[in-house]
Structure 1
Amino acid sequence: MKIAIIGAGLAGLSTADVLTGAGHAVALFDKARGPGGRMSTRRIETAQGMAFFDHGAQYFSARDADFMAEVARWEAAGAAARWPVAGADAWVGTPGMNAIVKRLAADHDVRWNCRIESIGREGALWQLTHAQGVEAADAVIVAVPAEQVADLVAPHCGAWAGLAQATTSQPCWTVMAAFDARVDFSADSLRNCGAIGWAARNSAKPGRSGPESWVVQGSPAWSAQHLEDDGDAVIAHLLAELGSAIGCDLPGVLAVQAHRWRYALSGSAGHTALWDGSLRLGLCGDWLIGPRIESAWASGRALAGLVTA
C-alpha cells in the first residue's frame, strides 16, 4: 500500500521502519521545520559560542527487550549514550536528544513544514489536504499528540476522536539559560523543588559542547497555573527558583529563552495502538500507552504489526 503517516516523531518513524521493511511505500508529513518534536534540541548563539538545550524530553529509559535492542543500535551508531545522572537506566540522544529522530528520519520520505489540515475519502483512497495541495494514499496513520487527533479523525471514527479528547496532556514551561561561568552546584540535576519539576546542567550530558547551559522545567501543576504567563515572567521566576534551590547566586546570563509546551506529558488511553482495516486508518503514539519515549516507539511498532498482519 501507499501509506501516509501524519507526524514524524518517534511513533510515526518507528511505524515507518516496519512498514517500509514490509514493502509498503510510506510518506511522513510533519508540521515542524525539522526533526525532534518533544525530543527537540535548540541552539542559541552566545558570546562564548553555540549553546545547546534539550528543551523537551530530558532523557529516556529502556525496559522492554525489543526497545533495549533498538537503543543498542542507536548507541552503536553514536546517536545515544547512557546518562547515569538521571538514573541507572537513563539514556540521552547524542550530541542532542533530537539525534535519534534525525537518524530515523534520514531513512524515510519526510515532508517537513507540512501541516495536514484534514483527511477525507474519495472512493477507495484517502485524500490528505495541506497548504501545498492534496496527497492521495491507500491508508493513513495518525501519529500526533492526542489533542491534535480529534479534528483529523472525528469525521471518520467518532469513538477514536472521543478517546483522544478524553486523554489530555500536562503542559510544561521550559527555560533555557546559558551562563558565563559554571553554576556552583555539585550535582548536575535536581527535581521537585518549588515550582521546578526538573532542572539539569544540559552541557554536562554526554557529547555536549558549548558554554554552561541549564534547562529548567516547571512542574506540571505550576506550568498549568501559569500557562498563559508572559515568557519573560516565567524566565524570571524559574531562574529565581533555581538560584534558591541550589543556594547560590547564578552566574551572568549569556542567553536565555523560554518555551511553552502545551502538550508536554501525555496521558494514557489504555491502548497500545488502534487500526481499522476496513477504513485503513490507524492511530499510534505515547498518549495511547503512557508518557514515556519507549511508549511512543512501542505504539508505532505495534500499529505496524496490525497493518501487516
Structure 2
Amino acid sequence: MGREGWMARSAAIIGAGMAGLACAAQLAAAGCTVRLFDKGRRAGGRLSSKPVSAGGHDFFFDYGAQYLTARDPDFVAQIADWERAGIVGRWPAAGGDAWVGVPGMAAIVAHMAAAHDVRWSSHIRGARRDRDGWWLRHDEGVEGPFDMIVLALPAEQTVEVAAPIDPGLAELAGAHPSAPCWTVMLGFDAPLAVADVPEVGGPIDFAARNPSKPGHGGGEAWTIHATAEWSRRHLDDARESVAAALYQAFRDRARPLPDPVHTAAHRWRYARSGKAGIGAYARPDIGLAACGDWLIAPRVESAWLSGRQAAQALL
C-alpha cells in the first residue's frame, strides 16, 4: 500500500521479550499504536536477572541467557546504540564478540520496554477475529479490537494461541519445540579459584561467574546451566535435588569448592529454541504474524531480527 493510502493502525503483541519488543519498535516507528501483553511481572523473560541477599552478602545473578553476540549489520548497529546508552558492555571472558546487559541481562529488555505500553502480569488465553478486528481474552476480560496481532512467544505457547485461529502456524510451531534447561544459582562467601567461564562437561552445559561481567556488582555469584539432555531427564525433579546434583557436578570439576551460602534452582521449560530458519511468519491478509528466535535460530540476535521481520511483513 502506498503511503498516501496508509492509515494509522493498532497492533497487539503477545509477549514482551526481545522479539516482541523489536517488533513493537518497528511498528511504532511506522505510526502504529502498539500494546504489548506479557504474563511475566516485569521485563526479562529469558534475559532475566535478579539480586539476592543471603549469608551477609549481596549477590546478583543473570539466570537466563548469559550473553549475546551480533553478526547481522543491523543488530551490530543496535548493539552500538545500546553501548552508547550504557545498556550493554563487552564480556571478554566469554569471547571477543560477547556482550552483556548492564547492570544485568534484563536491563536490555527493560530499556526496550520503557518506550512502549506493556501490560505485565497479563496472560493471554485466546484470540479471535471478527469484522471489527482482533480481540484478545485474558484473565481480566477481553481487549480489542486491534487491526493486527503478533504472537511473540516460544513455539509451544504459540501452538496454544494459534491452533484455533491459524492451524498452519500452529503446525509450524509444533514442529520446532524448545529444549528445557535447569539453572542453578550459587552464592559463595569468597571468590573461587576458578576461571570466570570454566571448562565444563557432564550434566553442565555452561558456568559463569557473574561479578566478572561489566557493571555487575555483588558477591561471588555463579550461574550453572545444565545440558538440555540432562534437563529433559530431570524436568520434573524437585528443585532441591536438581540444585544438589548440579552443585556436586560443579564441585567435581572445580575442587576444592566450599559450601555455598545461597543455592536456588530455576526451571526453564522453553530455554533453547528450535530452528525453523524462515525469519518470521506473517499473514498480512488477516493482520496476523508470529516472531521469535525459534523462527530463525536459538540466539538473542535471532529474536530481534525475527521481530523486525514480522513487523515489516505486516506493514
Pairwise same-fold verdict (TM > 0.5): yes
On the 8 A contact 2:129/2:135 being kept in 1, the answer is yes
On the 8 A contact 1:191/1:197 being kept in 2, the answer is no
C-alpha displacement of 1:191: 4.2
Query: Do residues 268 (structure 1) and 271 (structure 2) align?
Result: no
Tell me how many residue pairs correspond in the alignment.
306
Correspondence for 2:3: none
Query: Do residues 218 (structure 1) and 241 (structure 2) align?
Result: no
Alignment of 1:25-44 (within 5 A): 25-44=33-52
Determine which of 236, 260, 266 is the counterpart of 2:244: 236
C-alpha distance after superposition, 1:226-261 (max 9, x if no partner): 111111111111111111112x23234221110010
C-alpha distance after superposition, 1:263-293 (max 9, x if no partner): 1000011210111112110000000001000
- For residues 260 and 15 of structure 1, the distance between their equivalents in structure 2, rounded to whole angstroms, comes to 27
- For residues 285 and 129 of structure 2, the distance between their equivalents in structure 1, rounded to whole angstroms, comes to 12
- For residues 255 and 81 of structure 1, the distance between their equivalents in structure 2, rounded to whole angstroms, comes to 27
Alignment of 1:1-309 (within 5 A): 1-136=9-144, 137-185=146-194, 187-246=195-254, 248-308=255-315
Using the size of structure 2 for normalisation, the TM-score is 0.95
- For residues 190 and 86 of structure 1, the distance between their equivalents in structure 2, rounded to whole angstroms, comes to 10
C-alpha distance after superposition, 1:60-110 (max 9, x if no partner): 100111000000111111110011111111100010000000000000000
Matched residue type, 2:61: F
Query: Secondary structure at 2:216's aligned position in 1?
Result: coil
Q: CA RMSD in A?
A: 1.0
C-alpha distance after superposition, 1:133-171 (max 9, x if no partner): 111111100000000001111122111101111101111
- For residues 256 and 248 of structure 2, the distance between their equivalents in structure 1, rounded to whole angstroms, comes to 9
Gaps (5+ residues) in structure 1?
none
Matched residue type, 1:226: H
- For residues 82 and 56 of structure 2, the distance between their equivalents in structure 1, rounded to whole angstroms, comes to 30
- For residues 130 and 200 of structure 2, the distance between their equivalents in structure 1, rounded to whole angstroms, comes to 51
On the 8 A contact 2:57/2:189 being kept in 1, the answer is no
Query: Secondary structure at 1:35's aligned position in 2?
Result: coil
On the 8 A contact 2:179/2:228 being kept in 1, the answer is yes
Mean Cα deviation higher: 6-15 or 234-243 = 234-243
Matched residue type, 1:290: A
- For residues 220 and 108 of structure 1, the distance between their equivalents in structure 2, rounded to whole angstroms, comes to 34
- For residues 307 and 199 of structure 2, the distance between their equivalents in structure 1, rounded to whole angstroms, comes to 30
C-alpha displacement of 1:48: 3.2
On the 8 A contact 1:173/1:260 being kept in 2, the answer is yes
- For residues 205 and 94 of structure 1, the distance between their equivalents in structure 2, rounded to whole angstroms, comes to 8
1:298/1:191 Cα in 2 relative to 1: closer, same or farther (>3 Å)?
Answer: farther
Gaps (5+ residues) in structure 2?
1-8
- For residues 91 and 158 of structure 1, the distance between their equivalents in structure 2, rounded to whole angstroms, comes to 38
- For residues 152 and 59 of structure 1, the distance between their equivalents in structure 2, rounded to whole angstroms, comes to 30
Matched residue type, 1:174: T
Q: % of aligned pairs identical?
A: 48
Mean Cα deviation higher: 163-172 or 26-35 = 163-172
- For residues 217 and 183 of structure 2, the distance between their equivalents in structure 1, rounded to whole angstroms, comes to 20
C-alpha displacement of 1:225: 1.1
